């Protein structure tokens, strides 16, 4: 692992404080150096014109220049088309991936205006495409609600594209303008006649900005599917024309490799059912609400909510504002949770499910097994953070609370059987929560009482600094013994586990904490578990899962990752969880020892060692081996027969002695580790649910779909 550099104070601040006589004091109290102050003049002030700021600091506008930023270019252009649809002017949006890393987005909206703009003296089309903060969404009544990343939209895409073309159909005429890195190649010109109205934008990202130019088909598909759910009644088509398939009938023309069309009359209710596709619904009727609320000053907020309970114990809540996903929630999600908890409690008391005031259901109780989508559309949304992860409008909370409070009450009265099932599930969650609290308190109290007397099987490290300490979770006592002998006890702790831990995907907390292995791990980490988990108290900043490189080892690793994802997720978000990569083979010829981490790497090493031997043979024999088409197979067959050459296949970590385990898997200077990260929490949740849940059919389908991607299967 790379060593962390020590933090040092900036040299200029240190100098200013220690040598104030040579400085002048600014009116705000800071010291300014008198020396060389004449060198800072007007020529040092840079003014970036047009779209230059975007190319200079692209991360400020699209978040990053990695894959996320690359795909955000598509989202920005599509958002303009979706905004037209939300305003009621478009019914169809088509996205095409074209050869040469080009993307085309077409809609049948009103078309961007092309007449001369009064302020810029240029065509409105050119103004929108080449000027930051220019568009109909900054005022007027053209768009009552709008999405977009930071209100800069298509002009940013233009700035970060090597080439772009805008085509507009208005008034029976087709208008075209092309751009190169944000600058017009020519004026807006008429290119012929057309029918209807609409806009087509085609762009090619700039390779100078984006090093990785590979658009991910699945990622685009998922995003556009989501947008179709959120924009009821709008048809979104996506085609992948990067590679075309030659049809048998050549007269039929070329067909796209992949083509999908999304159209959902049910809107977010259909989205809830899609999210629950691998779950068993608890009640038949899914709840849905679609109402407009007056937020004052004549401004309306459209609130859409849908939910359904399942047999799962995890909650899935997805929220949006103006079709923008808000992964951290915000006021709209808070309003939904508050209203749902209050309404279910009121109904339960009214129908005598709850006898006492102290028996009230908590938010945690009513959200167990809940799958909900909350979508609002409002003018001038206030987002928190650069990437719009959280909505901050207070009026959004009031609007959602009002709609949910009224409509959930109506739903429960209309569907008493569903209401009974929902209340019953929440009350069962309440009992489990109280049992889990007792079990958790017992475990935490035990850990607190023992103080520094940590679990006996834990071989702790000497350091008490979490930043430099690491915990190896090792499979089995044999590997644990080697790890304890081979470790650097100054900063490396070893916790051996006996067998496979409990699958926590469908287990409640009280059952989990009855497992000795999980209880030991909780006490060793020292930061509690679940909602009581406190990242500041964690005892190790590197928690390394070290299991055998076989099927059983992979299963144990998956069980541990499920545990961390469900109950220690902040540790994953902070980058504290790792997976060790032990070698599969040890190859030795004389004093030359090599380790291979895959079969491919093993073959490469064998070839190198084989050639090292043959270099001593005659030239003819050497050339025969090197040139032979069967050389690779011959090497595989003969490698172990070479004098002084041996191959050892590690079936488990326990087969390594302490020195080998340190050298290959634990030494920070030579080891290979994979950091566990979550790019898409919703997708991670779905995968864990498929792989570790009760339903067999989704898991079978997943395995069949991804079987070909498995390169090495150790049975």
Q: Is residue 652 exposed (0-12), middle (13-18) or buried (19+ Cβ within 10 Å)?
A: middle
Taking the CA atoms of 694, 518, 508 and 539 in sequence, report the sign of the dihedral they define. negative
User: Hey, which CATH number is domain 454-582+676-709, 3.20.10.10, 3.40.50.670, 3.40.50.9100, 3.30.160.20?
Assistant: 3.40.50.670
Q: What percent of the chain has a predicted confidence (pLDDT) above 70? A: 76
Q: Which of 240, 548, 663, 689 is catalytic?
A: 548
Task: Quote the pLDDT of residue 510.
Answer: 82
Q: Do domains 54-246+253-262 and 454-582+676-709 have the same CATH topology?
A: no
Strand intervals (E) in 263-336: 287-294, 300-309, 316-321, 324-325
Q: Give the per-residue SS3 of 161-203.
A: EEEEEEEEEECCEEEEEEEECCEECCCCEEEEECCCCEEEEEE
Q: What percent of the chain has a predicted confidence (pLDDT) above 90? A: 49
Q: 261-278 burial, b for 16+ CB within 10 Å, e for fewer?
A: ebebebbbbbbbbbbbeb
Q: Which of 552, 601, 603, 685 is catalytic?
A: 552
552 counts as catalytic: yes
475 counts as catalytic: yes
550 counts as catalytic: yes
pLDDT band at 402 (very low <50, low <70, confident <90, very high): very high
44 counts as catalytic: no
Name the class of domain 268-433: alpha beta
Could you say which DSSP state residue 145 is in? Answer: S
- CA dist., res. 202 & res. 418, Å (int): 49
CATH architecture of 54-246+253-262: 2-Layer Sandwich (3.30)
The predicted model gives 394-400 an average pLDDT of 95
pLDDT tens, position by position, 107-135: 999 999 999 888 888 899 998 899 886 55
- CA dist., res. 278 & res. 693, Å (int): 9
Task: Quote the pLDDT of residue 264.
Answer: 94
Q: Is the Cβ–Cβ distance between 230 and 320 less than 8 Å?
A: yes
Placement of tokens 């259909």 in the chain? 270
pLDDT tens, position by position, 553-589: 888 888 999 899 989 999 999 999 999 999 988 888 7
Q: 318-329 burial, b for 16+ CB within 10 Å, e for fewer?
A: bbbbbbbbbeeb
Neighbours of 357 (CB within 10 A): 8
Q: Which of 83, 206, 475, 505 is catalytic?
A: 475
Q: What predicted TM-score, i.e. pTM, was given to this entire model?
A: 0.68
pLDDT tens, position by position, 326-339: 988 999 999 999 99
Q: Which of 384, 550, 694, 714 is catalytic?
A: 550
Q: Is the Cβ–Cβ distance between 430 and 356 less than 8 Å?
A: no
- CA dist., res. 552 & res. 555, Å (int): 5
Is the model's pLDDT at 362 over the cut of 90? yes
- CB-facing half-sphere around the CA of 655: CA atoms within 13 A: 13
Determine if residue 151 is left, alpha or beta; phi over 0 gives left, psi from -120 to 50 gives alpha, anything else beta: left
All structural domains of the chain with their residue ranges: 1-37, 54-246+253-262, 268-433, 454-582+676-709
Of 12-21, 52-61, 274-283, 572-581, minimum mean pLDDT range: 12-21
Question: Judging by DSSP bridges, how do beta strands 585-589 and 577-580 pair with one another?
Answer: unpaired
């Amino acid at each position: 692992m790379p060593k962390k550099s020590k933090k040092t104070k900036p040299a200029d601040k240190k100098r200013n404080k220690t040598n104030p006589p040579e400085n002048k004091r600014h009116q705000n109290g800071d010291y300014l150096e008198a020396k060389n102050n004449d060198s800072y003049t007007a020529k040092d002030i840079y003014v970036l014109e047009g779209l230059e700021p975007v190319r200079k600091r692209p991360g400020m506008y699209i978040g990053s220049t990695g894959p996320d930023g690359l795909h955000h270019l598509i989202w920005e252009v599509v958002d303009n088309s979706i905004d037209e649809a939300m305003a009621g002017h478009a019914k169809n949006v088509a996205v095409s991936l074209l050869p040469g890393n080009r993307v085309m987005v077409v809609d049948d909206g009103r078309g961007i205006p092309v007449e001369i703009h009064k302020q810029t003296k240029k065509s409105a089309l050119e103004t929108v495409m080449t000027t930051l903060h220019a568009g109909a969404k900054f005022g007027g009544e053209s768009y009552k609600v709008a999405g977009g990343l930071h209100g800069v939209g298509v002009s940013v895409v233009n700035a970060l594209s090597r080439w772009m073309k805008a085509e507009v159909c208005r008034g029976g005429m087709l208008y075209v303008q092309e751009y190169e890195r944000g600058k017009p190649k020519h004026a807006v010109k008429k290119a012929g006649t057309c029918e209807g109205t609409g806009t087509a934008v085609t762009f090619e990202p700039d390779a100078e900005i984006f090093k990785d130019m590979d658009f991910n088909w699945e990622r685009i598909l998922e995003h556009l599917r989501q947008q179709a759910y959120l924009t009821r009644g709008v048809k979104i088509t996506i085609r992948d024309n990067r590679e075309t398939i030659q049809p048998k009938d050549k007269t039929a023309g070329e067909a796209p490799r992949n083509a999908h069309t999304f159209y959902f009359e049910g809107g977010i209710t259909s989205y809830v059912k899609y999210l629950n596709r691998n779950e068993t619904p608890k009640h038949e009727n899914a709840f849905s609400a679609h109402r407009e609320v007056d937020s004052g000053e004549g401004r309306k907020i459209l609130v859409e909510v849908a939910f359904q309970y399942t047999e799962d114990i995890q909650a899935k809540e997805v929220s949006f504002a103006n079709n923008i996903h808000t992964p951290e929630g915000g006021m709209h999600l808070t309003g939904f949770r508050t209203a749902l908890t209050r309404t279910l409690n009121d109904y339960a008391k009214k129908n005598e499910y709850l006898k006492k005031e102290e028996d009230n259901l908590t938010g945690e109780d009513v959200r167990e097994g809940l799958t909900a989508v909350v979508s609002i559309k409002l003018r001038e949304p206030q987002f928190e953070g650069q990437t719009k992860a959280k909505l901050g409008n207070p009026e959004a909370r009031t609007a959602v609370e009002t709609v949910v409070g009224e409509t959930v009450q109506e739903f429960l009265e209309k569907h008493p059987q569903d209401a009974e099932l929902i209340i019953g599930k929440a009350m069962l969650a309440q009992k489990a929560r109280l049992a889990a609290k007792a079990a958790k308190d017992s475990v935490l109290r035990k850990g607190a009482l023992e103080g520094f007397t940590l679990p006996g099987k834990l071989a702790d490290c000497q350091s008490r600094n979490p930043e430099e300490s690491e915990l190896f979770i090792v499979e089995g006592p044999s590997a644990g013994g080697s790890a304890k002998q081979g470790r650097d006890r100054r900063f490396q702790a070893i916790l051996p586990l006996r067998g496979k831990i409990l699958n926590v995907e469908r287990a409640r907390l009280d059952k989990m904490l009855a497992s000795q292995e999980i209880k030991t791990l909780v006490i060793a980490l020292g930061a509690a578990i679940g909602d009581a988990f406190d990242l500041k108290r964690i005892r190790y900043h590197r928690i390394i899962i070290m299991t055998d490189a076989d099927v059983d080892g992979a299963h144990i690793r998956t069980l541990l990752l499920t545990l961390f994802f469900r109950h220690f997720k902040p540790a994953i978000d902070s980058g504290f969880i790792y997976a060790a990569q032990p070698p599969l083979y040890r190859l030795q010829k004389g004093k030359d020892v090599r380790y291979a981490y895959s079969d491919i790497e093993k073959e490469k090493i064998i070839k190198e060692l084989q050639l090292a031997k043959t270099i001593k043979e005659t030239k003819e024999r050497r050339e025969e081996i090197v040139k032979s088409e069967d050389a690779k197979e011959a090497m595989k067959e003969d490698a172990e027969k070479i004098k002084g050459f041996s191959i050892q296949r590690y079936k488990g970590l326990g087969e390594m002695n302490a020195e080998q385990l340190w050298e290959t898997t634990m030494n920070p200077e030579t080891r290979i580790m994979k950091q566990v990260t979550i790019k898409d929490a919703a997708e991670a949740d779905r995968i864990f649910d498929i792989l570790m849940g009760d339903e067999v059919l989704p898991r079978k389908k997943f395995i069949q779909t991804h079987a070909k991607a498995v390169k090495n299967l150790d049975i």
